[in-house]
Structure 1
Amino acid sequence: MATLTHTTAEKATYPVEGMTCASCASSIESMLRAREGVTDANVNFAGKTVQVIYEPTIVNPTQLRDTVKEIGFDILIETQTQEQLEEREAQAIKTLKQKTIVAGVLALPVFILGMFLHGHFAWGNWAMLLLTTPILLWAGQRFFTGAWAQAKHGRANMDTLVALSTGIAFIFSVFNTVYPEFFLSRGLEPHVYFEAVAVIIAFILLGKYLEEGAKNRSSAAIKKLMGMQPNTVRIVRDGGELEIKIEEVQVGDRVILLPGDRVPVDGEVASGTTYLDESMLSGEPLPVQKQPGDKVFAGTINQKGSVQLIAQKTGGETMLAHIIKMVQEAQGSKAPVQKLVDKIAGIFVPVVLGIAIVTLLAWIILGGEAYLTEGFLSMISVLVIACPCALGLATPTAIMVGVGRGAENGILIKDAESLERAHEVNAVILDKTGTITQGKPTVTDVVWASDVQHEKQLEAYFYSMEAQSEHPIAQAVYAYYKELGAQVQQPDHFNSLTGLGIEADFEGKKYYAGNYKLLQQHGVTIPEELAQQTIKLQEDAKTVVYFADEKQALGVFAVSDPIKETAAQGIKAMHDAGLEIYMLTGDNNQTAAAVARQVGITNYKAELMPQDKAEFVKQLQGSGKHVAMVGDGINDAQALATADISIAMGQGTDIAMDVAGITLMRSELTQVAAAIKLSRATVNTIRQNLFWAFFYNVICIPIAAGLLFPFTGFLLSPMIAGAAMAFSSVSVVANSLRLRSVKLK
């Protein structure tokens, strides 16, 4: 893999055509990684995509495609619409279905002739040769072309196993049909295995057809998300109305939205009033009224009125597009356990080839020429039954279904590692503001010290200071006084003090606005009457903001941030899931205690700075806890990055969502327990899949080699081996699909 000094690497995901097993995926990855200019490549076998990180100044997509083509595969580098991808997929499945049917129809008479009527007709062998040839050369062509492409580069995959087993059996059978005297003259029966060749290919094709159908169902969630994007849009341009393709919409276009339409872009209502179904984003079932100036998002549904929108984000820039991209990347990413499985799959086929050769030699050496036929059959059975498909599908199919199930429930998972690691979480840290509470504080009480004079002037100073701050509480004060018609005065000096509050100078005098720590640090006293009022306000779960000059507190402002309706329910669900819960806040201890009491939290810490939250995460990790941090603001970013699993509220800041491995679009705490349950169910499914995949190969390969023959006389037929191999893959995918019905709440 090339080591790059550039920082302009691009990440792209391309559909892959021609993959048949996990070894195929491994081959594509290793070829791409060996290419100059490629920093990494990850193939999602279940999703049939490859994610490539490359340096565009060194290698371009066409060269990437040529690299993959060298080993018999193809990647679609041209931009494909969802309709085009589905059409190509449907055509590929249709062709596979046709070959499966033809192979099955021709294999049936071959099977009957070979198993029940062999020796009854002099022309029987020739008839089987005639029927088996199109099965091998047309229906099974993909196995031979794929094996040859791999062999040219010294590689092997599932195609190699199938091509070798059926090819050798077919050539041996043709030889014995054309020249039976060779073995007859040596006192041996010239056996033919046309029925094994025909049935093996028919069974493998049937298994692949069923597997493709199951894999399509596992990616249903991403298709559902993509289906939320309309294909065409009505816009007003040059004074006239016209209908254009969605990709032709430009920022600034005036879009017409009629009842029943899906919103095609992110934008702002320009005229008209309507109600939108935004459940795909918020989870709220009730439509939301939209008036001029209100924001709208792509994928939501217009319920009643007709409005016109101004397009602000189009195509890949919309929120829906970002959600789709996040889900696609998560489904295509690899869980840590998958990397180990990939290494095993990469060496699996060469090992199987070695076992097959040893099997044949063992039969000949131990049994002599009399057991040549049994050795030959055992070798074919080993080659057929040892396909690593089930091993390769075990993890990615579960990840695809798990990530898709999460997306359908408003749980966006950034990558497979986050989904896998979340099952280990046993401690959850919750930020208070915006996580437990609504994050929309309002001023409820204003209390001035009895000896304060010029209240109006002081209120103007306080309002002007809070207008400079971006803190949610400051914004509440700003909104409160703005509604009263107050005017902002520019301070002579302003400074924001992280975790404490703000300070400013007006007319040569310094003022402070913030928490108790701020006043403490500057030696500001609090009159007894204000101290008593503060205690009462804090007991009611209200946050208190002090306003003071350099000597004493002049007044207190109480701000209330209502607790979310589902907060207590979500915390109970976490307790029921066996999770320890901690609440961290920069707010004062009394307010924190009141909020914790109301929602059922016993462990909490108050008056914390952002770095204190991150330090507490480390403390829990040091005691052996696997910690999930749930937050929504810039002040949570450090703790989110420190935690084992970071969970962001979808209505929070962009930085919180960028850092987080999981984003909850509904911003409800009930989703936290649901995300943990989804992770546990997914990891259990992966473990089940891997157990059966490994168990299948560990048990079946020795049986196929003839281990039971000396004791029981049992020898596994290559036909049964083909059927077992085909249905092992189907069973793994079917087990993964059970995740679609797992109960999350």
Structure 2
Amino acid sequence: MASTKFIVEGMHCGACTGRVERALAAEPGVQTASANLVARSVRVEFEAPATAGSLAEALEKAGYPAAQTETRLEIDGMSCASCSGRVERALAATPGVLSAAVNLATRTATIQYAQGAIAPSELAQVVSAAGYPARVSSPEAPAEPMTTRQITEARSLRNRFLLAAMLTAPVFFLAMGPHLYPPLHHSLARTLGEDRIQEIQFLFTTLVLLFPGRMFFRLGLPALARLAPEMNSLVALGAGAAYLYSSMVVLTPRLLPPGSFDVYFEAAAVIVTLILLGRWLEARAKGQAGAAISRLIGLRPATARVLRDGTVIELPIEELAPGDLVELAPGARIAVDGVVTEGTGFVDESMLTGEPIPAEKAPGSAVTGGTVNGTSALTFRVTATGTDTVLARIIALVEEAQGQKLPVQALVDKVTRVFVPAVMALSTLTFLVWFSLGQGLSAALVAAISVMIIACPCAMGLATPVSILVGTGRGAELGLLFRRGDALQRLAEVETVAFDKTGTLTEGRPALTAIFRATDKTEDEILRLAAGAEARSEHPLAHAVVAAAEARGLPPARARKVSATPGRGLSAEVEGHQILLGNAAALTEAGIDTTALNKATEAFAQAGKTPVLVALESVPVAVLALEDPPKAHAADAVTSLKNQSLSVAMISGDAQATAEAVARGLGIDHVTAGVLPAGKVAAIAALKARGATAFVGDGINDAPALAAADVGLALGSGTDVAIEAAEVVITGADPRGAARAVALSRAVMRNIRQNLFWAFAYNTALIPVAMGVLVPFGGPGLSPMLAAGAMSLSSVFVVTNALRLRRAAG
């Protein structure tokens, strides 16, 4: 019987507690549910099939969601997929835990749990009790950068390997030298004698297992005792069996049957040495896999030159505060986020946007921590520090995505859960078959050890997370932030990429290029009244009208009773005149006949300009032509997507003719125009009916469409609302980022498939060979030494293959 507690903030009365208790009691497996209105909590006693996750879902459906929180643990001792699976199951079985995702590559666990049901320190104890020392990673004491941990681990493994290699060398020489050069056997036998040769091998092998190889026994044997064997258990059993059998030959030969006096000390020593070599190479490669995050962290300078009381002083960046004035020397790296107050120049923002062209900065321009100043001296006012900076948020996003699992990992988890026990069973079967066929104790033991060593699930466990690790890091270098790891897999499956128009494919800074008049009022008079109404609007088209009036030196007229209708336009009272500005639909809905403006409206739209109709006192008087030029690389983005065999669409609230004109210029075939924000969602739904669809947008009105698409991509230059609704953030404003994101996601998924194929095919092919299936047909067997080398190679291959992603989508 398990017991857990949920915090339920939505309970406000006795009726609420009753509903909560009944909702939980209705779940199969729940024995009791007792709600406490004062404490806003409910305690539940339950057994299978109920779980903490199913109980939380029941509360959610009842309208009383349980308070949830998240923590991250750093875990030591995980070496293969069986380890990570065991940790995950231990956490999932803990009352109060709603979900747990363990990442073998980063050695971390991300846990969602019911607030108040369990503490993070208790979760760490659960993992430690499972045999894997764990500690809570807290914001106050941030975790050591993953690459630093990998470097430390690689250094430790290198030292272990070198020591093991030095101790193994004499054993290998004495055991294998005579086979390679037969005269050596007679020389050694005369000089040392057979017994002394075996005793020397015994001594050095003992040292190998006691010191550099101790880690396998320290981790593997306790796991075996818990009936939860993993990769270290296989190594400990394989090397230990070879060592113990050989030790019996040396110390107690009378206990063995005649003809069983061969020793296999070299197998035990070489197994440990080769696996340590593989672990070392793997740790080095994984350190390179996480190098992108380390480079991002390394972008933060340690100090900054701060202006205080008229004096410039050097301060650690930890002591900077919003409002401080920072002097920036030419070529210096910007410490934190801010706004330029003095100077003009260019800043290299390639770390943020992936674009090599420096961005121009002037007073009022935003600068980002980690970017590099050009040749001009600048002064900026600090606006964000610490975890609030753009760079810190980028690092946090990438680390979060790296810790998540892709749906494809589910199959691997199912296989690895039973893999090690199955291998041990096959090893036992191999021993029994060989021994029963009269091949002798030695031959049966060697075959069984080979099976145990060759069948390591390390490569399976690393196949997916290490590719995610490298891929998301590469994305950060390209200005692509995957806010959710599973977006990598879903983006690779899309068939259509749809773009918003204004601000995404176009500059988002329209300008007034022409005015058509259907009245005797002058252009300046019409523009002054229109600017007066538009001055109260935040729409880009409104800004263009106001800017045009200011350029002509026309002060905007005073407006009252301004009312805007999304996707239509706005109305206002200006100097006693009732004015309405908007598209043709806005005037039609207001009962205004637009016939006098239709020809000009159509002509402007055919030219790719946005027509804004103006009516005074319900009389159509003018059409303002506003042109928003396409972004410099918009056409390149469309071409790149088409080259990846993707369909490209555009969804816009602009007039159909205007949108089609822009689409023709960019090479887009499918256009949906004249839609409100809700209409964009319907357009996305129509595209999804033909296949998985991604949507790229930047504005507040794009948020519903971003959320509705299979994958939402938001330009980082857009609004916070749009960015929050998207799974992928394209830093900067370049639409080519969408093409890069698709290319990268496809490369990652292709890499994962290659890794999984190698991991599964390797075991499928070599386990039968190690069992000796080919021997009766004259084929080869597999010695424990070769098995250890092949097993180590498999993990190194998977990690090295993933490292190729560092050049992907460039």
TM-score computed with the length of structure 1 as normaliser: 0.93
Q: Which moves more between the two structures, 472-481 or 195-204?
A: 472-481
Distance in 2 separating the partners of 1:23 and 1:645? 32
Q: Report if the CA contact (8 A) 1:449-1:527 is conserved.
A: no
Residue in structure 2 matched with residue 739 of structure 1 by the alignment = 805
Per the TM alignment, residue 695 of structure 1 is displaced from its structure 2 partner at its CA by: 0.7
1:90 equivalent in alignment to 2:151: yes
Residue in structure 2 matched with residue 382 of structure 1 by the alignment = 451
Distance in 1 separating the partners of 2:375 and 2:618? 59
Per the TM alignment, residue 537 of structure 1 is displaced from its structure 2 partner at its CA by: 2.0
Residue in structure 2 matched with residue 73 of structure 1 by the alignment = 133
Given the superposition, is the C-alpha separation of residues 446 and 160 from structure 1 closer, same or farther in structure 2, using an over 3 Å criterion?
Answer: same
Residue in structure 2 matched with residue 605 of structure 1 by the alignment = 672
SS in 2 for 1:554: strand
After superposition, give the CA deviation of every residue in 1:76-97 in whole Å (9 maximum; x if it has no partner). Answer: 6355668776554433322211
Residue in structure 2 matched with residue 394 of structure 1 by the alignment = 463
Per the TM alignment, residue 612 of structure 1 is displaced from its structure 2 partner at its CA by: 2.0
Distance in 2 separating the partners of 1:647 and 1:660? 5
SS in 1 for 2:109: strand
Distance in 2 separating the partners of 1:83 and 1:160? 29
One-letter amino acid matched to 2:759? A
1:106 equivalent in alignment to 2:173: no
1:206 equivalent in alignment to 2:272: no
- In the TM superposition, what are the counterparts of 1:529-608 in structure 2 within 5 Å? 530-549=597-616, 551-608=618-675
Given the superposition, is the C-alpha separation of residues 232 and 507 from structure 1 closer, same or farther in structure 2, using an over 3 Å criterion?
Answer: closer
Residue in structure 2 matched with residue 523 of structure 1 by the alignment = 591
Distance in 1 separating the partners of 2:515 and 2:66? 53
Per the TM alignment, residue 394 of structure 1 is displaced from its structure 2 partner at its CA by: 1.1
SS in 1 for 2:707: helix
Residue in structure 1 matched with residue 489 of structure 2 by the alignment = 420
Per the TM alignment, residue 487 of structure 1 is displaced from its structure 2 partner at its CA by: 4.1
Q: Which moves more between the two structures, 84-93 or 496-505?
A: 84-93
Distance in 2 separating the partners of 1:324 and 1:159? 33
Residue in structure 1 matched with residue 746 of structure 2 by the alignment = 680
Residue in structure 1 matched with residue 763 of structure 2 by the alignment = 697
Per the TM alignment, residue 353 of structure 1 is displaced from its structure 2 partner at its CA by: 1.6
SS in 2 for 1:707: coil
After superposition, give the CA deviation of every residue in 1:567-619 in whole Å (9 maximum; x if it has no partner). Answer: 12221222222111222211112211221221122321221122222212222
1:367 equivalent in alignment to 2:437: yes
1:175 equivalent in alignment to 2:251: no
Residue in structure 2 matched with residue 628 of structure 1 by the alignment = 694
Given the superposition, is the C-alpha separation of residues 446 and 205 from structure 1 closer, same or farther in structure 2, using an over 3 Å criterion?
Answer: same
- 2:212 is aligned, of 124, 131, 139, to 139
Q: Report if the CA contact (8 A) 1:32-1:67 is conserved.
A: yes
Residue in structure 1 matched with residue 108 of structure 2 by the alignment = 49
Distance in 2 separating the partners of 1:505 and 1:154? 81
SS in 1 for 2:137: coil
SS in 1 for 2:211: helix
- 1:271 is aligned, of 325, 342, 352, to 342
Given the superposition, is the C-alpha separation of residues 349 and 290 from structure 1 closer, same or farther in structure 2, using an over 3 Å criterion?
Answer: same
Alignment size in residue pairs: 736
After superposition, give the CA deviation of every residue in 1:154-175 in whole Å (9 maximum; x if it has no partner). Answer: 3221111111111222222222
- 1:437 is aligned, of 500, 506, 520, to 506
1:405 equivalent in alignment to 2:463: no
1:33 equivalent in alignment to 2:102: no
Given the superposition, is the C-alpha separation of residues 271 and 15 from structure 1 closer, same or farther in structure 2, using an over 3 Å criterion?
Answer: farther
Per the TM alignment, residue 284 of structure 1 is displaced from its structure 2 partner at its CA by: 4.2
Per the TM alignment, residue 485 of structure 1 is displaced from its structure 2 partner at its CA by: 5.1
Q: Report if the CA contact (8 A) 1:19-1:73 is conserved.
A: no
Distance in 2 separating the partners of 1:595 and 1:290? 30
Q: Report if the CA contact (8 A) 2:402-2:485 is conserved.
A: yes
One-letter amino acid matched to 1:59? I
Residue in structure 2 matched with residue 154 of structure 1 by the alignment = 227
Gaps of 5+ in 2: 1-50, 60-64, 179-184
Residue in structure 2 matched with residue 226 of structure 1 by the alignment = 297
1:325 equivalent in alignment to 2:392: no
Q: Which moves more between the two structures, 204-213 or 400-409?
A: 400-409
Distance in 2 separating the partners of 1:378 and 1:649? 58
Distance in 1 separating the partners of 2:474 and 2:779? 48
After superposition, give the CA deviation of every residue in 1:503-546 in whole Å (9 maximum; x if it has no partner). Answer: 33457864322111111212211252x33322332222110111
Distance in 1 separating the partners of 2:145 and 2:666? 50
Distance in 1 separating the partners of 2:354 and 2:176? 60
After superposition, give the CA deviation of every residue in 1:475-494 in whole Å (9 maximum; x if it has no partner). Answer: 22233335535246341x33
Residue in structure 2 matched with residue 355 of structure 1 by the alignment = 426
Given the superposition, is the C-alpha separation of residues 242 and 12 from structure 1 closer, same or farther in structure 2, using an over 3 Å criterion?
Answer: farther
SS in 1 for 2:331: coil
Distance in 2 separating the partners of 1:450 and 1:109? 103
Q: Report if the CA contact (8 A) 1:82-1:226 is conserved.
A: no
One-letter amino acid matched to 2:374? Q
Distance in 1 separating the partners of 2:267 and 2:705? 61
Q: Which moves more between the two structures, 691-700 or 75-84?
A: 75-84
Distance in 2 separating the partners of 1:538 and 1:290? 35
Distance in 2 separating the partners of 1:207 and 1:290? 50
Residue in structure 1 matched with residue 121 of structure 2 by the alignment = 62
RMSD: 2.5
SS in 2 for 1:416: coil
Gaps of 5+ in 1: none
Residue in structure 2 matched with residue 337 of structure 1 by the alignment = 408
After superposition, give the CA deviation of every residue in 1:12-67 in whole Å (9 maximum; x if it has no partner). Answer: 44543322112222222222333344332222212333323345544344333333
One-letter amino acid matched to 1:248? E
Distance in 1 separating the partners of 2:737 and 2:707? 20
Per the TM alignment, residue 217 of structure 1 is displaced from its structure 2 partner at its CA by: 1.3
Residue in structure 1 matched with residue 44 of structure 2 by the alignment = none
Q: Report if the CA contact (8 A) 1:18-1:74 is conserved.
A: no
Distance in 1 separating the partners of 2:149 and 2:417? 28
One-letter amino acid matched to 1:108? A
Given the superposition, is the C-alpha separation of residues 142 and 245 from structure 1 closer, same or farther in structure 2, using an over 3 Å criterion?
Answer: farther
Q: Report if the CA contact (8 A) 2:707-2:726 is conserved.
A: yes
SS in 1 for 2:579: strand
Distance in 2 separating the partners of 1:245 and 1:154? 52
Distance in 2 separating the partners of 1:231 and 1:10? 33
Distance in 1 separating the partners of 2:471 and 2:643? 21
Given the superposition, is the C-alpha separation of residues 164 and 241 from structure 1 closer, same or farther in structure 2, using an over 3 Å criterion?
Answer: same
Give aligned-pair identity as a percent.
Answer: 39
Q: Report if the CA contact (8 A) 1:42-1:333 is conserved.
A: yes
After superposition, give the CA deviation of every residue in 1:218-244 in whole Å (9 maximum; x if it has no partner). Answer: 112111211111122332345554333
1:166 equivalent in alignment to 2:245: no
Q: Report if the CA contact (8 A) 1:72-1:149 is conserved.
A: no
Q: Report if the CA contact (8 A) 2:505-2:735 is conserved.
A: yes
